[in-house]
A and B are shown apart, each in its own frame.
Chain A
């Protein structure tokens, strides 16, 4: 291992101080990942997976020198009202809350867990470290994040909220591993926020293992300031009769790339993926999703919606794989977009690859403008244009919010989204 390579290659910044360095049992993985990353580098503009999202270029241009942190982050600013939750908060890489003590649940820093051998069977096995350069970088560079284990049969009544706050210019990587045992249930909400308008970068990888008949609800609420670059990869492996609900709400940031992959490695699985990206300014948000039906008799449903204003840009890529063995699969996907300005853009691409012959699959994508007839109708009833417009946009976006299973989270999102839509500058 040479550290010189790190100095000469800006894209490898930070990889020499990752937590993985301290875990001897992962030394081989570390070395192989490092060599791989050096070899492949970060994806350039010709890489199909990053065609519309020049993350590498954004990172190369990233200047982290121009912003001091406020040093005074008020966690109450980020609370979800009325939500009885266990909250752990990180300001930059530092945990500023005590570790939760929830009966029967194991939550500990991933570094500590892996050192004890916990989660070692799943770490970097659900997400292949070489599957993506940013995942490789994360594998080498992560310094914080959790190992969360819900033992068999345990239902976690309180959701676990992981709050990631970027205060000032920061480059950070977080890694989570969530293991939900048989017949167990839990909800994990990751919230992302930042304090200033300057640049920062967060790279988060979350791996999930959902055992038989278990359920995991995963939320990502991305409400960053306009300088933040975020790479967020989540991959969950599902066993028989398990259920996963994923919610991704992208409300801000400079450049957000979400990779979400669900591997349905069991029969009778149910998977729901909801996403909403509400973009203005020059925010760029890219959702790449994969649903991989590996075994028969499972169901997946995906609904992503986007509203783009100003010069913002949305990207959606939804892959559905139905493997030869996965007969009787039901897989549905829908991506719908509204463009509010002539300079806003969206690139949407559904991709279905079906090798089984007895399946029900559908996909659809639409991109349109606000319905002028509907707008006129509401105005003809005395409702001012801006209010009518906000009502119509909320009606469009609301379908993803209505799908949220926790009422306080639903209300929180409904309020945030409708406030945004009612602002005339949106």
Chain B
């Protein structure tokens, strides 16, 4: 599905990723953990195609194609979805309104016919239930005045609507109380199938109790310094990131 080799990236003069290697196969859930500033969100942004980041070395293949050669919208149409850590507020654009455009862009790309208003609405109703989100919220300006939990649920709602092959959840747990966290995680789990993959970027182990990873990778100074199974997350939680830092230094 996704094959990252020696990925290096910088923003301005600031080198952030220093050679990341990661292999994600269909049906796998990978967690990327690490202390603040380790490059977790940068990795997510580079995969989504944020232009501020300059890839200085390495390659990323997604479903056999060169991901780095694609624009952000092409990546999304190919099946990558990033749930934003800080979803932007866009006054005047409602979720319903832009999702209609987005869903049909993705469908057209996959050779499916565009949805008419009725089918779109029924798809929307179905996915709304998944994350327990109210339609009135979706008719409002995107994320404007939404609570932290509402914003994150809206992200997962969009994930459900667009049905990607690879979902990247960038600190989706930040700012969520335990109930909202459970709703969001349940939504993600229901969407997971054998031919899909998830990369969960998180600082804390908390989310991983609900979205259980197959692999956990620890990122430090722009490199993956440790990989393991889900028990690695528990170990990190117990020992803290200093344990990793020390072991790297040693």
Contact = CB atoms under 8 A, between A and B. Distances in A.
Given A373-B88, A391-B98, A391-B101, A380 B76 contact: yes
Contacts of A396: 91-92
B50 to A, nearest CB: 6
A207 B105 CA distance: 50
Contact of B72 (A371, A376, A399): A376
Given A379-B76, A384-B73, A395 B93 contact: yes
B88 A380 contact: no
B77 interface: yes
Given A376-B50, A377-B87, A387-B101, A382 B92 contact: no
A299 interface: no
Contacts of A46: none
B82 interface: yes
Nearest to B76: A382
Interface string A356-386: 0000000000000001011011111111110
B129 interface: no
- Interface size class on chain B is 20 to 34
A303 interface: no
B90 A381 contact: no
Contacts of B87: 377
Contacts of A378: 90, 93, 98, 102
B242 to A, nearest CB: 33
Nearest to B93: A395
B7 interface: no
B84 interface: yes
Contact of A381 (B50, B91, B98): B98
Interface in A213-249: none
A383 B90 CA distance: 15
Interface string A384-426: 1101100110111011000000000000000000000000000
B71 interface: yes
A391 B92 CA distance: 9
B109 to A, nearest CB: 7
Interface string B29-69: 00000000000000000001111000000000000000000
A398 B18 CA distance: 45
A382 B88 contact: no
B92 A398 contact: yes
A392 B94 CA distance: 11
Contacts of A376: 49-51, 72
Given A374-B90, A379-B71, A384 B105 contact: yes
A190 to B, nearest CB: 27
A391 B93 contact: yes
B202 interface: no
A387 B104 CA distance: 13
Contacts of B75: 380
B88 A381 contact: no
Contacts of A392: 90, 93
B82 A395 contact: no
B197 interface: no
B158 interface: yes
A215 to B, nearest CB: 28
A73 to B, nearest CB: 36
Nearest to B78: A382
A383 B101 contact: yes
Contacts of A384: 73, 105
Contact of A383 (B49, B50, B91, B102): B102
A382 B93 contact: no
Interface of A: 371, 373-374, 376-385, 387-388, 391-392, 394-396, 398-399
Interface of B: 48-51, 71-73, 75-77, 81-82, 84, 87-88, 90-93, 97-99, 101-102, 105-106, 109, 141, 158, 162
- 9 closest residue pairs by CB, A with B: A395-B92, A382-B76, A381-B102, A379-B72, A379-B73, A382-B105, A382-B77, A395-B93, A382-B106
Given A381-B102, A392-B93, 8 more contacts: A371-B88, A378-B90, A378-B98, A379-B49, A383-B102, A395-B90, A395-B91, A398-B92
10 contacts: A374-B88, A374-B90, A374-B93, A377-B90, A381-B99, A381-B158, A391-B97, A391-B98, A395-B93, A396-B91
